[in-house]
């Protein structure tokens, strides 16, 4: 059982408290809507008076999922109210439930049940970030971005953040490392071409060219996470000789560019060797018969 956190460990009115309570307001599944508006009550409010939360990190909503939720709301009504705070001009600002709000508008509702709570701007942003982390469909990059926002804004260590989101420090470090990946690998992760496990392994390598080479191998050879780990281990333990030694740094700039293009194309540590008389070699190593066949297929394209 987790120990109860001291008040001195909280941020503002308590990021830790928000983590344990936000999203778990005492609202039963079937809500009795009050006709009298007060803080802590659930009331029907006009949809047109609800403005979205400007601090909401979530920007993309799946149209198909919204349509399904909209059909359900049109048939059964909205089961779980949205959460809002009152603004001074008679409007309301959304704290949580933007997906429900959007679906209700699609269902042509004019009013929506809303849970009224007090929150200042700082608490609003905290709760928006925390709600973002509670989503099941959050991508690894979205999780990493939210972790970084929490660390930067509230000056948290990774250990402190881990205790607040119930994750180990190692897990926090691994997720944050994804933010350092090249754009092409981030895109592959966002499109689910590779998994979070693949991306974490790639993030351990500091050389972007090596990362891209490994990405190509994962995609072309359909490597599992375990197979990628083994491929990286094999590369690091392979003996070096005249044919596998690192390419000379004395290559002219245009030749280095050609070498990098070949690496990216073949997904292998291609070496371009050039002598002073203009003669040279292109060395393309392979790790298995399967890898050789992959390279031959590329050459035949």
DSSP of 180-216, one letter per residue? GS-HHHHHHHHTTSS-HHHHHHHHT---HHHHHHHHH
What separation, in Å, do the N-terminal and C-terminal C-alpha atoms of the chain show?
A: 59
Q: 3-class SS at 97?
A: coil
Q: What is the DSSP letter of 10?
A: S
Residue 31 φ then ψ, to 5°: -100, 135
Helix ranges restricted to H, 29-97:
63-76
Distance CA 35, CA 91 (A): 17
* CA-to-CA dists, residue 111 to 47, 77, 101, angstroms: 5, 11, 10
Closest CA to 125 of 189, 182, 57: 57
* CA-to-CA dists, residue 231 to 62, 244, 261, angstroms: 36, 16, 21
Contact 45, 115 (CB under 8 A): no
Question: Cβ-count burial of 138 within 10 angstroms (0-12 exposed, 13-18 middle, 19+ buried)?
Answer: middle
The active-site residue, picked from 98, 123, 142, 221, is 98
Contact 113, 42 (CB under 8 A): yes
Q: Which residues contact 181 (CB under 8 A, 6 or more apart)?
A: 189, 199, 202, 203, 211
Q: Please indicate whether residue 98 is annotated as part of the active site.
A: yes
Q: Give the residue numbers annotated as catalytic, written as ranges.
A: 98
């Amino acid at each position: 059982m987790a120990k109860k956190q001291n008040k001195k460990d909280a941020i503002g009115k308590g990021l830790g408290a928000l983590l344990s309570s936000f999203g778990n307001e005492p609202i039963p599944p079937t809500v009795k809507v009050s006709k009298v508006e007060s803080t802590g009550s659930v009331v029907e409010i006009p949809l047109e008076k609800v403005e979205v939360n400007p601090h909401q990190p979530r920007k993309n909503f799946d149209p198909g999922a919204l349509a399904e939720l909209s059909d359900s709301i049109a048939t059964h009504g909205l089961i779980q109210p949205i959460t809002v705070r009152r603004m001074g001009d008679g409007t309301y600002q959304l704290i949580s439930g933007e997906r429900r709000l959007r679906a209700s508008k699609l269902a042509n509702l004019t009013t929506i049940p809303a849970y009224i709570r007090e929150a200042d701007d700082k608490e609003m942003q905290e709760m928006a970030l925390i709600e973002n982390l509670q989503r099941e469909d959050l991508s690894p990059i979205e999780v990493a971005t939210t972790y970084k926002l929490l660390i930067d804004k509230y000056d948290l260590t990774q250990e402190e953040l881990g205790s607040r989101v119930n994750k180990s420090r190692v897990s926090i470090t691994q997720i944050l490392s994804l933010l350092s990946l090249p754009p092409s690998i981030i895109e592959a992760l966002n499109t689910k071409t590779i998994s979070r496990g693949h991306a974490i392994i790639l993030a351990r390598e500091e050389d972007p060219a090596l990362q891209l080479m490994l990405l190509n191998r994962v995609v072309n050879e359909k490597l599992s996470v375990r197979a990628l780990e083994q491929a990286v281990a094999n590369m690091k333990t392979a003996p070096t000789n005249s044919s596998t030694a690192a390419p000379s740094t004395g290559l002219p700039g245009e030749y280095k560019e050609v070498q990098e293009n070949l690496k990216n194309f073949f997904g292998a540590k291609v070496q371009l060797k050039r002598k002073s008389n203009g003669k040279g070699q292109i060395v393309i190593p392979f790790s298995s018969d399967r890898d050789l066949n992959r390279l031959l297929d590329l050459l035949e394209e």
